[in-house]
Amino acid sequence: MFRQLIRWVLGEKLANSQLKEQNYNVFWGMPILSSDAISSVAYAVEEMLWILVPVIGMASYLWMPRVATAIILLLVVLVFSYRQTVEAYPNGGGAYIVAKENLKTVYGLIAGAALSVDYTLTVAVSICAGTAAITSAFPGLYPHRVAISVGIIVLMVIGNLRGVRESSRIFSIPTYAFIAAIIALIVAGLLKHFSGSYVDVPNPSLSHVSFGTGAITVFLLLRAFSSGCSAVTGVEAISNAVPNFAPPSQKNARTAYLMLAAAVSITFGGVAYLAKIYHAVPNPKMTVIAQITLDVFGKGFMFYFIQATTMIILAMAANTAFAGFPTLLSVIAQDGYAPRQLALRGHRLNYSNGIIFLAAMAIILVLVFRGDTHLLIPLYAVGVFTSFTLSQTGMLVHWLRLKPEGWHYKAFINGLGAFITLVTVIIIGVTKFQSGAWIVIVVIPLFVLLMLKVKNHYVSVAEQLDLPNDTLSQISFEPSYTHYVIVPIDSLNVMVVRALRYAKSMSPNVEAFHVETREGEADKLRAKWAMLNTDIPLIIKQSPYREVVGPLIEYIDSEEHASKPGDVITVLLPQFLVSKWWQMMLHNNTSIFIANALFHKRNVVVSVLPFYLEDISLWRKKQMLQSRARTLTGDAQG
């Protein structure tokens, strides 16, 4: 039943040969890989206002569009820079690969760690911001924002575990709906404002911040800029996933970048301008987009439609991370810097382990920060701009080293991208350090250290298991040790007899081992054992503390046992298996504890011999038929 449920939720298994069928074209691929950047429109403008309004008040509406323009220019530089990466790395040119191949491995690990942190924050921030859109439309749900966020993440996991094709269809349509809704809001808002049918008079009492009258400083504008830079996170996702596009994959990926630049520039710039002319005020219980929509359309269909599409795309924005993070970890795992389980594809041809791991980390963040977007934003963008800088620097070195046709232009584009992103990451690190950016700055080196330790482990394992070719002909398969078999038993029954026979087939040195937990308990076993026609010795050990595993280990290690150092001991565990899963809970399952305890002992092999028990009703019918058959045979003979 559980397998049928999984099949119904996640779909049927896909064969390796179906991997190419899961690729997507530009129309479906752009929104699934760009939803992070596009959805940031919903909170990037608001985050800038949270910085500016409490300090400079009404002057915020003069400076905020200028800061937004600088962010759009940064986006354009990044888009053209990553188009060069797509050209140079048709198999996927994430920051990890570019930095590792063109700089040093450690820089690649830094980029990989930075992106891993950012992907996790992308899920948490996007989901929490989507929940804020829900609570803006339905304020009664505000106390349940954490539970709603966790529930959305679980749904995202199910959608992504179904596979690439399904997730692209599911997540692309809401992205286009959001773009259309925001463009409609921008057009209607501009028409209403310039027609003179609406004049906004800000009311500070409606907000949870006061209008400040402080001085406009460079540091203040840089803080606003760093908060708004969340609008360009996720730009690298397309370059990471070039192979996921249908052929010609490079051309489709480069086209998708142009579509991304146009979508973000129009929606982000338009919302920033509407926030200026409608004097939107940051409010924890109603988002800036919700306020603008209420001013433009009123609380009718369009208000709820825009809140719904905003919520959905913010939830879908997490899909950028769900698409990029598992792929990134799979590449790192293939290089030996992450657990190899992360490089394995699931039954739907996706990296299911990476998807589940990302969801678990994001849920922890949501719980720790209570689903509050404003608490998570200071941690955001540090990691992604670190990876931007390393990626663009790596591309600069790539062009300078290879010098292909037109390399001067390409090197200039990537060099400009490296310089601008370096300046940006410094700004974000300094302005957001005390607000929480220090956590990311500490976590990234720890991740790098962890990856290096994982690599050292795999190298150590490989060195110890290595078998040089020049030694193969010298290997002898004649055993240089004596093989002993110990069969732990509780009583003498059909299953034990079968195990003893099997043990005899492996070695003549077989022992049955029993632990007597109370005095006289083993008398019945001794009596029955004496009736057996066997030379197998029965070893009985007392255990006043009612332990079973300990006496067995002590016996194996003691001089009483005939084995010598270097000999191999097989502990053969007879284990019956019942017909129904719940019936196993009715038994002690001692063999499981014995096996776990012996796995760590050298020269000890643990083997389980299964004995399958039939359903009680079927067994009784079988016994009845056999009894009748014997009776009939006896009558016939008589």
Q: What angle do CA 447, 448, 450 make, to 5 degrees?
A: 65
Residues 6+ apart with CB under 8 A from 399: 84, 407, 410, 411, 414
Higher pLDDT: 406 or 198? It is 406
Locate 610 and state its tokens.
Answer: 């299964």
Query: Rounded to the nearest 10 degrees, how much is the dihedral formed by the CA atoms of 586, 590, 596, 601?
Result: 180
Q: What is the pLDDT of residues 199-234, one digit of tens each?
A: 454 444 444 455 555 567 788 888 888 888 878 887
How far apart CA 302 and CA 305 sit, in angstroms, is: 5
Q: How far apart are CA 444 and CA 450, in angstroms?
A: 10
Give the pLDDT score at 597. 85
Mean pLDDT, the chain, whole residue set:
83
Q: What pLDDT shows up at residue 16?
A: 46
Residue 245 has pLDDT above 90, yes or no: no
pLDDT at residue 8, as a whole number: 52
Q: So where are the chain's domains?
A: 2-458, 483-637
Determine what percent of the chain is predicted with pLDDT higher than 90: 31
In CATH, 2-458 is 1.20.1200.10 = no
Tokens of 288: 């800036």
> What's residue 211's pLDDT?
54
Binned at pLDDT 50, 70 and 90, residue 25 comes out as: confident
Q: Yes or no: say if 328 and 100 are a contact pair by the CB < 8 Å rule.
A: no
Q: Phi and psi (nearest 5°) for 513?
A: -125, 130
Residues 6+ away with beta carbon under 8 Å from 486: 510, 511, 512, 513, 552, 556, 569, 570, 571, 572
Q: Is the pLDDT of residue 632 over 60?
A: yes
3-class SS letters over 24-79: ECHHHHHHHHHHHHHHCHHHHHHHHHHHHHHHHHHHHHHHHHHHHHHHHHHHHHHH
Residue 259 has pLDDT above 60, yes or no: yes
Residue recorded with tokens 């270097």: 566
Where residue 457 falls among pLDDT bands split at 50, 70, 90?
A: very high
- Whole-angstrom Cα distance, residue 83 to residue 268? 21
How open is the CA angle 565-570-574, to the nearest 5 degrees?
Answer: 155
More confident residue, 251 or 169: 251
How far is 60 from 68, CA to CA, in rounded Å? 12
Whole-number pLDDT of residue 453? 95
pLDDT reported for residue 204: 41
pLDDT of residue 587: 63
Span 483-637: which CATH code? 3.40.50
Q: What pLDDT is stored for residue 4 in this prediction? A: 56
- The alpha carbons of the chain give a radius of gyration, in whole angstroms, of 33
Rounded Cα distance, 462 and 475, in Å? 19
Q: Does the structure show a pLDDT above 80 at 93?
A: no
Task: Give the angle 114-320-392 at the CA atoms, nearest 5°.
Answer: 45
- Arithmetic mean of pLDDT, 97-105: 91
